[in-house]
Amino acid sequence: MTFTEQLLLAMPLLAAQILARPDYVLAVDQAARAEALPRGHLAAVCALESGWGRAPGAWCGVTHPRTPAPQQAQAAARILARMHRVCGSWPRALAAYRWGSCAHPDTTGYVRRALALAERVGP
């Protein structure tokens, strides 16, 4: 199964955005591989931060909206990888990515949603 197919199965409500932006799919795949991250975790962050490009603003939530997709995905991957090293677990790394602190309470369900989505996407 291709990465695009994995994303479509995991995020059916974002199918139009995923199919419209193959550059985003490639950017996430390459950035995750470059930082040795599970692709599902990076894809989940990018999807939650922007609806896979549907919401205005930065795509993965970390750079200027006019920054090209590959650089946005690379920045997100670097931050997420660093947060995982610093925080020591995916739940804490996702909290730090979203709120800047490994110990931030997940009052919005962001971490739970990100982990569930990452699991559906797969490695």
pLDDT in tens, 64-85: 777 888 888 999 999 999 999 9
Distance CA 109, CA 28 (A): 23
Domain positions in the chain: 3-121
pLDDT in tens, 13-64: 999 989 998 999 999 999 999 999 999 999 999 999 888 877 666 778 887 7
pLDDT in tens, 96-113: 999 999 998 888 899 999
pTM tops 0.85, yes or no: yes
pLDDT at residue number 56: 63
SS3 state at 77? helix
Distance CA 17, CA 24 (A): 9
SS3 state at 39? helix
pLDDT at residue number 105: 87
Which CATH fold would you assign to the domain 3-121? Lysozyme (1.10.530)
